[in-house]
Amino acid sequence: MLLVKLGGSVLTDKGRLRSPRRTAIRRLARELAAARAPLLVVHGAGSYGHILARKHRLNEGGATRAKRGAAARVQADVKALDGLVVDALIAAGLAAVPIPPSAVLSLDDGRVSSIDLTPFLEFSSMSFTPVTFGDVVRDLRRGFSICSGDLLMLELARAFRPERALFVADVDGLFTADPKTHKSARLLEAVKPSDLPQVKFRAASRTDVTGSIEGKVRRMFEIADHVDECWIVNGNVKNRVRDALRGRHVVGTRVSRGP
Ligand code: IP8
């Protein structure tokens, strides 16, 4: 079993509301299909989720009519992105089935309160490819909240113990600083918690409502506990995801809990 998260920055143009990168979605779907192994797919929300979720502060929940309307809008939007991903996976030959977090999971102040993994277990046991995604979900304390794809990665890693977990990003892996703004940034080929002090994290991007890169890397350490290998790879480089899924050595960052 392989567990893959397609990052929202690869699937969409994160700066422009609801703007899919259709060519990348189709190519990545073909690369996933080429892995020829049972897959669980998670994807981020990109510009279908983060822009409006941040504008309306949906991660704080709320009980007003305006907030509910915005939450419903974002939920419909991330479902639309999921439709594009699922369609592309089916066209590539996978029997992809969407499993919306809003239907199977609830949070309690941002932490998982309950999750029904039955659809994942049963569909994958029938050789379907479950596809889930960052979503607006119920939250016992906040009314509703945002569930990131990273949290779903952790829940699925815990339940399925896949041999490999792959985070598909728009850069080669984790760098010592943001490679988009620091020319001297160096790719870390392997990272464990004790390496974090040498990483210069920038603050959470203006649009990302589910937290900072540092928070995401810390979540990956938790995931690494439940899988044989956990990697960050660049989904904008053709065939890198395919090769990483096949277990070939590729440019990327291997994430481990370390000694
Ligand atoms: O892109 C965020 O999920 P992520 C979900 O995996 C929403 O962090 C609705 C913004």
Using a 6 Å cutoff on CB, does residue 136 contact ligand 1? Answer: yes
In a domain, 255, yes or no: no
Give the phi and the psi of residue 147 in degrees, each rounded to 5: -110, 120
131-153 pLDDT per residue, tens:
999 999 999 999 999 999 999 99
131 is a domain residue: yes
127, 37 contact by CB (below 8 A): no
- Sequence-distant (6+) residues with CB within 8 A of 126 are none
Partnered with residue 135 across adjacent β-strands are 147
Distance in angstroms (rounded) separating the CA atoms of residues 87 and 156: 22
Q: Ligand 1: distance of its center to the CA of 169 in Å?
A: 14
Query: Which of the listed residues 133, 144, 167, 208 should we mutate to test ligand 1's pocket, taking the one with most ligand atoms within 8 A of CB?
Result: 133
Q: Is the CB of 97 under 6 A from ligand 1?
A: no
pLDDT of residue 259: 64
Domain count, the chain: 1
What is each CA distance from 57 to 68, 156, 202, 246, in whole angstroms? 11, 27, 21, 40
Looking only at the bridges linking them, the beta strands covering 2-6 and 164-169 are: parallel
Q: Is the CB of 241 under 6 A from ligand 1?
A: no
Answer yes or no: is 11 within a domain: yes
The residue behind tokens 């490999």 is 164
Does some domain include residue 183?
A: no
For residue 126, give Cα distances in angstroms to 39, 121, 123. 12, 9, 5
Cα–Cα nearest to 225, from 153, 159, 158, 150: 158
In this structure, is residue 195 part of a structural domain? no
Q: Domain of 34?
A: 2-170+203-243
177 inside domain: no
Predicted local distance difference test score (pLDDT) of residue 118: 98
Q: Is 100 in the pocket of ligand 1 (CB under 6 A)?
A: no
CATH number of the CATH domain containing 31:
3.40.1160.10
Which ligand 1 atom lies nearest to the CA of residue 49?
Answer: 10
Residue 156 lies in a domain: yes
pLDDT at 175: 96
What pLDDT, on a 0 to 100 scale, did the predictor assign at position 210? 81
Radius of gyration, alpha carbons of the chain: 17
Cα(38) to ligand 1 centroid in Å equals: 24
pLDDT tens for the chain, residues 1 to 259: 999 999 999 999 999 999 999 999 999 999 999 998 999 999 999 999 999 999 999 999 999 999 999 999 999 999 999 999 999 999 999 999 999 999 999 999 999 999 999 999 999 999 999 999 999 999 999 999 999 999 999 999 999 999 999 999 999 999 999 888 899 999 999 999 999 999 988 766 666 788 788 889 999 999 999 999 999 999 999 999 999 999 999 999 999 987 6
CB 135 near ligand 1, within 6 Å: yes
Q: Is the CB of 74 under 6 A from ligand 1?
A: yes
pLDDT at 201: 86
What is the predicted pLDDT for the residue at 204?
62
Inside any domain, residue 94? yes
- List pLDDT tens digits, range 42-83: 999 999 999 999 999 999 999 999 999 999 999 999 999 999
pLDDT at 77: 98
C-beta neighbour count of 186 within 10 angstroms: 11
Amino acid at 47: S
CB-based contact 25:84 (threshold 8 Å): yes
Q: What is the pLDDT of residue 242?
A: 98
CA 115, chain centre distance (Å): 17
